[in-house]
Chains A and B, each alone.
Chain A
């Protein structure tokens, strides 16, 4: 036995690594959106059911495979069955795509973090226009936070066809993000194991601080009440169940090979069943916790906007009718409006078009997810808090921790198979392989810092991982149960950890989870086929809002390529192994 495999210093490092990988930006910006769209408190029902039926079993499966095979994804699946080496390669390819675009989010978080040290915050005020008589037009039409995101951060072009040049500011931040990731993975588990203490724990500290701040904000209860009032009729909506299943699936990061990689550095006797349950419960609780924080902030923002809207109406009426300053208040607004309408009908009808209908409900209903939530909605709420610089720094620091934690898992998924392979590791030391992977990903990632970069980012975000992962995990579950044999795997686990395999896991792995994945897969395929042409949201600077456009043919081709390049690895790997074996058999036959 040559050089011993590096191990986690303590099992706690392994648990923290899994937590910091699984608890990522999706918990903060996707789950609250889903909760809002699919019935608030009642969304927790399908969510928890899917967690127990799909999340925990599949997580345990991946951890067990990694711990048993003690290799990265390629080696592990090759050991299970030589025809499955394609599965491992597909995982590595998907992880590679993910790490390319995911680190751009960290770059944006860095950008906002660096800009948080100014007074006033740059996204709280609109810049002046050319002749200093008013504010910039695009900023007036949109809001200052949208302007800062679309114009100052992304400098977005009107459509995906107009690529524009690489923006040097986000490019610098991207290079810094990759340097930071490289620093953390440089020494393998030795360095990663220490970093995950921070990336796993610090976000919780910030979330707790934000929870306390959020709950004490004016109007927070509006948001919380809105979110948690269960809308039971959504339980009958199949989309709620599908989205719960999807969210659990992607939130845990199954199928990328990161969990296999992390588990491969475990002691063989490690109780990964306990860890699987712990990690999945912590992941889901973090989602719920983060959505409490998010909704109290939503409530604050909605109440603030509602009250500003009312104040604008009051000012408009006060100025038009020369009423005494301070006479019109929120409480008497309606009666005074009706009085003015009857007393000065002509003048009132002039002013009437400008009076906006302010509604708290409509403010709360603006449901946003993804980068929009993190960089537009949250920043809008933060700019209205006192000491906004502090809250801004805390918030983006937390986003950075979450993002880096997930990046550690992604890069581990790519590097573990590479460092396991004797061919590559004999030529290059670990540090050089890591450096090369980071360099290549960074260079390709510069595409996302171009003016049209955000549109490419959306393509990668929506299509690079969704379908291929479902297929990969399906093949994984089927392979372990039916190709390798559930009984053989069970005895392996018993020999390794000393615990017998509970019937529940066997039932889930063998039947329920694969069926769920198949139904998700079918749903997504049919969804793509039914909607026909794929569309995207482009930012229109003249209107100051998003417009829907169709993807050009070459973008559709690239989407197809993305999906195909990872899914095709599975059959191609099997084919390759088949051919190699055939050739070997012919050789031995000809020799003998």
Chain B
């Protein structure tokens, strides 16, 4: 290694195990470390490549409870497949293979870092591309933000998880906007109750007016018949009969006491 080449990052010696790591120096001065762990090849590359890495966090027990599956290498393979699938949707990246997706630092949590390399395996793809791939719509749907979520939904569904339990840190999920109906529901219910109250009020007012009119007509009719009776009485015998008899009873207030008027309950 020529000392004039700038070393931007050096691997932590504790990560290197004898016989399992290969350090390669690349043409432009970057170097890469291949660390074999089981069947996984981890790219512990330079810091600028670390900028293109994404941390993924899964909460299996929170999401699935007892039905939580164990996170093993097969699940990792599926994850790499999903990421490769998403990358293939990006124009110019149709040739992405599963082996181009590299996982590292898998913890018990379960969380890990991943990067996507280009076919030559020398560079990592810029974060922006990976980000757009994860958010890329499965089918170009015009209008509606729901389309942005489709790729993400596919990945979530493959693992029976959702946005909260499968987190891509640094790729914020676009929050699903709440469905807004064209007419707010509350106005509909308001309108219904408003109409009912107005109709009931009108009915009551109208029946009140009708009752009032009937009461006004009633006494005037009564007066006519009383006059007629008086006239007939006066005419009949020539002797003015007591009109009290014709009117059918009259209460003498002098003898009514408060208690007798109504029976107490």
Interface residues, chain A, CB within 8 Å of chain B?
10-11, 110-111, 114-115, 117-118, 120, 125, 127-128, 132-135, 172-173, 176, 179-180, 182-183, 186-187, 191, 267-270, 318-319, 322-326, 429, 431, 495-496, 498
Contacts and interface: CB of A to CB of B under 8 A. Distances in A.
A191 B178 CA distance: 44
Contacts of B108: 322-324
B74 interface: no
B190 A134 contact: no
Interface stretch (B24-32, B33-41, B57-65): B57-65
B177 to A, nearest CB: 6
B177 A267 contact: no
A148 to B, nearest CB: 12
A117 B109 CA distance: 41
Nearest to B174: A132
Given A128-B177, A498-B259, 19 more contacts: A110-B190, A114-B190, A117-B186, A132-B177, A133-B175, A135-B175, A172-B190, A179-B194, A180-B197, A183-B197, A267-B264, A270-B264, A319-B57, A322-B111, A324-B110, A325-B110, A326-B68, A496-B258, A498-B264
Contact of A183 (B110, B174, B200, B265): B200
A395 B214 CA distance: 44
- Closest A-B pairs by Cβ, 3 of them: A326-B61, A114-B186, A322-B107
Given A268-B258, A269-B262, A117 B189 contact: yes
Nearest to B198: A179
Given A183-B200, A269-B259, A325 B208 contact: no
A324 B109 contact: yes
Given A117-B186, A133-B174, A267-B262, A176 B109 contact: no
A186 B186 contact: no
Given A134-B175, A183-B204, A176 B194 contact: yes
A587 B109 CA distance: 101
A325 B190 contact: no
A375 to B, nearest CB: 15
A128 B185 CA distance: 19
Interface of B: 57-62, 68, 107-111, 145, 172, 174-175, 177-178, 185-187, 189-190, 193-194, 197-198, 200-201, 204-205, 208, 212, 258-259, 262, 264-265
Given A269-B262, A319-B109, A326 B178 contact: no
A319 B164 CA distance: 13
B205 A114 contact: no
B172 A325 contact: no
A111 B186 contact: yes
A173 B189 CA distance: 11
A379 to B, nearest CB: 15
A322 B262 contact: no
B201 A183 contact: yes
Given A134-B175, A325-B62, A11 B265 contact: yes
A173 B190 contact: yes
B175 A114 contact: no
Nearest to A180: B197
A366 B259 CA distance: 57
Contacts of B189: 114, 117
A324 B197 CA distance: 60
A128 B178 CA distance: 9
Given A133-B172, A324-B108, A429-B212, A115 B197 contact: no
B131 to A, nearest CB: 13
A451 to B, nearest CB: 20
Contact of A127 (B59, B178, B259, B265): B178
17 contacts: A11-B265, A114-B185, A114-B190, A115-B185, A118-B185, A125-B178, A132-B174, A183-B197, A183-B200, A187-B204, A267-B262, A267-B265, A269-B264, A318-B109, A324-B108, A325-B110, A429-B212
Contacts of B110: 324-325
Nearest to B259: A269
Contacts of A180: 197
B205 A431 contact: yes
A268 B257 CA distance: 12
A429 B213 CA distance: 12
A318 B62 CA distance: 12
A336 to B, nearest CB: 14
B192 to A, nearest CB: 10
A325 B61 contact: yes
Contacts of A115: 185-186
Contact of A117 (B174, B185, B212): B185
Contact of B190 (A10, A176, A324): A176
Contacts of A318: 109
Nearest to A324: B108
B109 A186 contact: no
B167 to A, nearest CB: 9
A11 B62 CA distance: 61
Contacts of B212: 429
Nearest to A172: B190
B60 to A, nearest CB: 6
Contact of A186 (B111, B145, B205, B264): B205
A132 B175 contact: yes
Contacts of A118: 185-186
Contacts of A429: 208, 212
B191 to A, nearest CB: 10
A89 B110 CA distance: 75
Contact of A325 (B109, B174, B187, B265): B109
A191 B60 contact: no
B264 A132 contact: no
A127 B194 CA distance: 28
Nearest to B257: A495
Contacts of B177: 128, 132
Given A182-B201, A325-B110, A431-B205, A176 B174 contact: no
Instruction: Choose among A182, A325, A326 the residue with the greatest number of B CB atoms under 10 Å from its CB.
Output: A325
A176 B193 contact: yes
B72 to A, nearest CB: 14
